[in-house]
Amino acid sequence: MAVSGFEGFEKRLELHFSGDDPVAGLGLRQLDFDSLELVLHEVQCTVVSAVGNHYFDSYVLSESSLFVYPTKIIIKTCGTTKLLKSIRPLLHHANQMGLTLMRCMYTRGSFIFPKSQPYPHNSFKDEVVYLEETLPSNLCDRKASVLPSKFLAHKWHVFSARDVSYHVPHVLYTLEVCMTELDRVLARKFFRRPDDGKTGDTAGKEMTEATGINGINPNALICDFAFDPCGYSMNGIDGDRYSTIHVTPEDGFSYASFECVGSTYEDLDDVAKFLRKVVQVFRPGTMSVSTTCLSPEVWTRVAKGVEPLGMKCRSCTMDEFPAAGTVVFQTFTARRK
C-alpha cells in the first residue's frame, strides 16, 4: 500500500429544499454557472464537463460530480476537497430563492489516506460537529452513526438531519458502491497515452466505450471525462435518474465508485443488473455496497447481483435514520482472496 497518493473515496452531500419557487419548476437550477463555480471554489474543485435535461443538470467535476435538481442538490467529491464548506453558500443562494432546507444527508467510506484530509474532514467527529454547527435549527431530527464491517479499513459514515415535517419518499433508493484493488489489466484502460493530443472529453468517450461502461445502462446519456495521465469520471442521465462513476486506477491505491438512484416501483431488477455489469468492468478485490431506502427489497438483491461473479459477502450491517430510512452496508471480497 502506498504511503500517500490520490484519495479515491468520496464524500457525498445531499440537500433537499422546499418553499415558494419564484420561477416555476426551476428552483435551484436558476443558479448561474459563476455562482456554482464560487460554491465549488470553497470546496476546491471545478467543473470540467456538463450536460442537462428536462429534470436536472449534471456536472462532472475535477473531483467527482454535482447534480442540481429544482429542490435537491447532490455533491460528491474525492481527493482532499472540503465538501462541507459548500453548505453555507448553498444555503445563502437557496434562501434568496425562497427555498428552505428540509433534509441533509452526508455519507462517506473510510479514507485510504485519512491524515491527508483537511478540516473539517480530519475525522468523522469533526465532520459531525461542523454539520451540527452549520445546519439551520429547523433540521432538529439528527443522527450520526458509523456502520462497521468485518474489515477495519471499510466503514460507512452517515449523518442525517431533517425538519420534522419532512417525509422520506417511500419508493426511492440510493445505491453507493466503493471498490478497491481493481484488476490491474482492467485498471490500465483508465490511463492515457503520453501526449495523445486528445481533449479530456474525447479521451473520456473512448474510455467509456473501451471499458464497457456504456453498457451498464444503455439508456443513459453519458457525460464523461478522462484525466491526464490517468483517472476517469462520468455522469449518466436517464430521465430524472442519475448514475455516476469515478476511477482512480493507480496500482497500490486503485479505487472506483459507482452510484445510482432508482424507484422500488420500477427499477428493482436494475439493482442486480447494474451491479453485475459494474463488477465485470472493474473486477475489484474488495467492494462495499451501501443502500439507502425505506424498503428492504433493495439491499436483499445486492448479493444476488454480485455473488454469481465470484464475490462473497463478508459482512452486513444496518441502521435506521429518520432523514433517510434504512441504510444497509455490505462488504464483499473476491473468492480468490
Q: Which residues are designated catalytic?
A: 7, 10, 64, 78, 233, 246
Residue pair 225/49 in contact by the 8 Å Cβ criterion: yes
The sign of the dihedral angle between the CA atoms of 283, 284, 285, 289 is negative
Helix 87-96, helix 124-134: angle, nearest 10:
20
Distance from chain centroid for Cα 88: 20
Is there a contact between 309 and 284 (Cβ–Cβ < 8 Å)?
no
| Contact predicate 261/174, CB 8 Å | yes
The DSSP annotation for 192-212 comes to PPTT----HHHHHHHHHHHHT
In terms of DSSP H, where are the helices of the chain? 33-43, 87-96, 124-134, 184-187, 200-211, 268-282, 302-306
Q: Which of 197, 204, 276 is nearest to 235 (CA)?
A: 204
